[in-house]
Structure 1
Amino acid sequence: MSEDARIGLIGLGTMGAALASNIAEKGFDIAVFNRTTQVTRDFAAQAGDLAARITPTESLEDLVAAIAKPRAIILMVPAGDAVDAQIDALRPLLDDDDLIIDCGNANFQDTDRRVEAATGPFLGVGVSGGEEGARHGPSIMGGGKADLWARVEDIMTAIAAKHEGDPCAALMGPGGAGHFVKMVHNGIEYADMQMIAEVYGILRDGHGMDYDSIGDVFAEWNKGPLESYLIEISGKVAHAKDLATGAPLLSVIVDAAGQKGTGRWTVIEAQHRLAPVPAIEAAVVARNLSARLEERAKGQEVFGAAPQAFDGLDLTTLEKGLMAGKILCYAQGFEMLSAATRDFGWDLPMSRIAQIWRQGCIIRSSMLDDMASTLNAEPGVNLMFTDHFAAILRDTHGALRQVVAQAALNGHPLPALSSGLAYFDMMRTTRGTADMVQGQRDFFGLHGFVHTNGKTGQHGPWAKG
């Protein structure tokens, strides 16, 4: 037990306890505090070999006293009002140069507000990887002033996941930049998960495959270009058995997906940034619809269940279709990050973001290596138009079209994959159908339009005078 801890941490829930253990394991003395004293005591009692580096405290005053100056204290409390309340309780006990670090799942706008209102140093840091990542190496996205990040950079890089020795931790930019990048990460995560679930539905209801066979398909795909954490765990989930009944686990899970709001934040902010993310939006809608169990039951009673068995798609076509959808999902996410750079002046390090997502986080995948190289070689270019990924999309978009078409004909809803295909088609078409929309707007509201001759503020023949 240290009386001169290098860093403090408040909040010993699942993520906080895992992160504190990670910090101690990497050789840093840490003082910890939890509002419920017994939680702190239990954490210290179960620390094992790490106990010598952990100082449990039972009041904020004791926590502050246990940390070496200038202090740095991590907050791992629920996002929202709880963070503000914790800051208000903690700041009066600190010196002017003591640093508060919010490593929770904060909305980036809250982080910006806290930076502006802060009476002392403050960082907002996004941490991805769930409990396993927090304990053994997450992806870490810092936000705030460079000199403040430098004070804890050695800790952040030590506890972060490593990709071939490169720490998956970096400063994204000032203010809420770190939490913004984490938010977009979570939005991509929503869409990636939904696309995988849609393909799972085709395998189960379209092809009539049992759960173990579906698990085998995902396990095989994880050996190829789709290699990723989410594909890997999808195979494991499909293979898993319910502990209570011995039945396939997926067969006993209620068909309603939970959410904590970060996907919704991504979609709302994308609209403000004029950055279309239709695959992410579709994934959020899918979760919302999944929760409407009674209405869905009524719909099935009235119309019959939608999904029908069919055999028009082979596994290679499904794999390629999922590959195309995944690329388009990431392209949308990185375009949203580019919009933030434009609107907020953050100069987000696109290639570095892809690098720190290669390990530790939920969306980690082998594809991110190529994305990092591509974003460095062709900065400012939509991923779908870059040489590397355009070549892959030329090879796979036809498969995506077959998947979406066959699914639609046989009653399989694919909101994320179909929205990805629509995005692809709109983004490769010079003249679409917005001329009709502008004509309608001018007819009922005289909103005007841009003529193909270059003149602005033009009107149709219905305009008077």
Structure 2
Amino acid sequence: MTDTKYDFGIVGLGVMGRNLLLNMADHGFSVMGLDLDPKKAAALEEEAEAGKSVKGTTSIQEFAAALKSPRALMLLVPAGKPVDAAIDNLVPYLEPGDIVIDGGNSYFPDTDRRFTALAEKGLHFFGMGISGGEKGARFGPSMMPGGDREAYERLRPVFEAVAAKVNGEPCVAYLGNGSAGNYVKMVHNGIEYGIMQLLAETYDLLKRGLGRSDDELQRIFEEWNNSEVQSFLVEITGQILKKTDETTGQRLVNLISDRARQKGTGKWTSQNAMDLQVPLPNIDMAVTMRDMSAYKEERVLASKTLATPPTTDQDPENWYILETQLRNAFYFAMLVTYAQGLAQLRVASATYNYGLHLEEVAKIWRGGCIIRAACLEDIRKAYSNDPILLNLLLDPGIGGALLERQEDIRYIVKLAIDRGIPVPGYMAALSYFDAYRSGTLPTNLIQAQRDYFGAHTYERIDQEGIFHTQWS
């Protein structure tokens, strides 16, 4: 047993767990890690800098006894049953007032269940989304905690120290009650799905639709990252397109299978949005296209029989103008994707009593996380100006930016249609914009149809009440 009392502990010493503990140690905190694998426990101490107070162990009893009271410890284990198993193993060694944090991508109803169960034992439970990957964990992630506000004060000094910083402000904040943190991270991942799909469509239109070379593609994304669309995902796209395969000398991206994997957070975002009746077409479409990618054999078969339409338009004479139009279209679609996710957070906050402040959400997404982007500062300002903003599209600055670029996205969508290149993300963004700005939608016909075949009734615009008609 160690005599030292440690400030913070992490259960699960994979790369993320080790990096986060080493980050904490760099900021002057004494830290302890627990893993049942002796090699991982030893690796934590081996990677620590000399003089830092860092210890790894395989003993739950030693781990719990060595933490300062009230204990603050984080689980970084796979979502689902492993989280419950880790909690069950730890609880006998914990005391009332201790704080348990789930730092994985847990589904928010599981977080609510654990929050309630541990509260009955006098323990505080936090669900905290962490974004930024292995590098972010080591040098500054974006963190999204939700749980008991008073208990957060025990965690705040540690989290604010290790989080990414933007203009000196840490990319972490107490977000709200219960599962608020895991919910915000879920929507963050849904937005991530949507933007990645838009970048893939941009790449496909340029490469397959317009015949741009690998060098030209790499240049375009690199230049874009110095423009208003600057973001982590645009940045890494340029780097990916530059990478060559050591064996063949070809661009590595051209050798990667087009069957995409997913862990489920995008699907959770879409499913819950449907429960809340929040339209989320860009995230829905991104999930759908990953599903479509799995049908490789069928797609190859269809490509042999369902021919691409003959191209009637000529290649652009001025590529600079086209690239500008495409960049504007991407910016438009990216803003709309953020707007959809933030609209979901607004409704979810009211439904689940989270008490979210969307300016805080935008603020902590500006650095460290996967969806960090220059436009998030404009989004933060929009919610600062109007904390109860119903939809980001209603902000004068954001709405004005979309209006300035709507002609470009309409042109790009038509160009893709003519070339036979699927751009469902661009189409979804434009359709959302057009539907949201429509004071009248054709759903009056749908209401009449429902009443015709199912006597589901309808409302009228000229009279109060509920009506049913014998249509035939």
TM over 0.5: yes
Q: Which amino acid aligns with 1:311?
A: D
Aligned to 1:25: 26
What is the rounded CA distance, in whole Å, between the counterparts of 1:414 and 1:71 in structure 2? 50
After superposition, residues 124-203 of structure 1 pair within 5 angstroms as 124-203=127-206
Aligned to 1:341: 349
**Any conservation in 2 of the 1:103–1:125 contact (CA below 8 Å)?**
yes
Aligned to 2:14: 13
Aligned to 1:401: 410
**Any conservation in 1 of the 2:124–2:147 contact (CA below 8 Å)?**
no
**Any conservation in 1 of the 2:129–2:145 contact (CA below 8 Å)?**
yes
What is the rounded CA distance, in whole Å, between the counterparts of 1:199 and 1:11 in structure 2? 38
Q: Which amino acid aligns with 1:80?
A: G
Aligned counterpart in structure 2 of residue 355 of structure 1, from 343, 354, 363: 363
Divergent runs of 4+, >3 A = 304-310
Gap runs ≥5 in structure 1: none
CA pair 255-306 structure 1, distance change in 2 beyond 3 A: farther
Q: Which amino acid aligns with 1:237?
A: I
**Any conservation in 1 of the 2:44–2:55 contact (CA below 8 Å)?**
no
What is the rounded CA distance, in whole Å, between the counterparts of 1:407 and 1:303 in structure 2? 17
CA pair 17-306 structure 1, distance change in 2 beyond 3 A: farther
Farther off after superposition, 261-270 or 307-316? 307-316
CA displacement, residues 213-272 of structure 1 (integer Å, 9 cap, x when unaligned): 111101111111101111111111111111232210111111111111110110001011
**Any conservation in 2 of the 1:138–1:168 contact (CA below 8 Å)?**
yes
Aligned to 1:234: 237
Q: What is the CA distance between 1:62 and its match in structure 2?
A: 1.2
What is the rounded CA distance, in whole Å, between the counterparts of 2:291 and 2:62 in structure 1? 44
CA displacement, residues 283-331 of structure 1 (integer Å, 9 cap, x when unaligned): 0111111122111111112224679796358101101100110111011
Aligned to 2:463: 454
Number of aligned residue pairs:
462
What is the rounded CA distance, in whole Å, between the counterparts of 1:6 and 1:212 in structure 2? 50
The question of 1:42 aligning with 2:43 is answered yes
Q: What is the CA distance between 1:2 and its match in structure 2?
A: 7.5
CA displacement, residues 24-68 of structure 1 (integer Å, 9 cap, x when unaligned): 11111111111212211123223243x632111121111112212
**Any conservation in 2 of the 1:55–1:66 contact (CA below 8 Å)?**
no
What is the rounded CA distance, in whole Å, between the counterparts of 2:380 and 2:178 in structure 1? 24
Aligned counterpart in structure 2 of residue 419 of structure 1, from 417, 421, 428: 428
TM-score normalised to the size of structure 2? 0.95
CA pair 373-59 structure 1, distance change in 2 beyond 3 A: same
What is the rounded CA distance, in whole Å, between the counterparts of 2:431 and 2:251 in structure 1? 35
Aligned to 2:264: 261
Backbone CA RMSD of aligned residues: 1.6
CA displacement, residues 410-438 of structure 1 (integer Å, 9 cap, x when unaligned): 11111111111111111111112101100
Q: Which amino acid aligns with 1:101?
A: I
CA pair 219-307 structure 1, distance change in 2 beyond 3 A: farther
CA displacement, residues 305-359 of structure 1 (integer Å, 9 cap, x when unaligned): 6797963581011011001101110110110011012211222110111010000
**Any conservation in 2 of the 1:2–1:52 contact (CA below 8 Å)?**
no
**Any conservation in 2 of the 1:188–1:363 contact (CA below 8 Å)?**
yes
What is the rounded CA distance, in whole Å, between the counterparts of 2:211 and 2:3 in structure 1? 59
The question of 1:392 aligning with 2:392 is answered no
Aligned to 1:219: 222
SS of the equivalent of 1:78 reads: coil
SS of the equivalent of 1:170 reads: coil
CA pair 207-115 structure 1, distance change in 2 beyond 3 A: same
Aligned to 1:311: 315
Aligned to 2:440: 431
Aligned to 2:285: 282
CA displacement, residues 70-97 of structure 1 (integer Å, 9 cap, x when unaligned): 2111100001110000000001111122
Aligned to 2:69: 69
SS of the equivalent of 2:145 reads: strand
The question of 1:440 aligning with 2:443 is answered no
Aligned to 1:107: 107
What is the rounded CA distance, in whole Å, between the counterparts of 1:26 and 1:447 in structure 2? 62
What is the rounded CA distance, in whole Å, between the counterparts of 1:139 and 1:453 in structure 2? 51
Q: Which amino acid aligns with 1:414?
A: V
Aligned to 2:116: 116
**Any conservation in 2 of the 1:2–1:55 contact (CA below 8 Å)?**
no
Q: What is the CA distance between 1:458 and its match in structure 2?
A: 1.2
**Any conservation in 2 of the 1:206–1:310 contact (CA below 8 Å)?**
no
Aligned to 1:326: 334
SS of the equivalent of 1:314 reads: helix
CA displacement, residues 423-455 of structure 1 (integer Å, 9 cap, x when unaligned): 111111111210110010000011111111132
TM-score normalised to the size of structure 1? 0.96
Gap runs ≥5 in structure 2: none
What is the rounded CA distance, in whole Å, between the counterparts of 2:314 and 2:13 in structure 1? 49
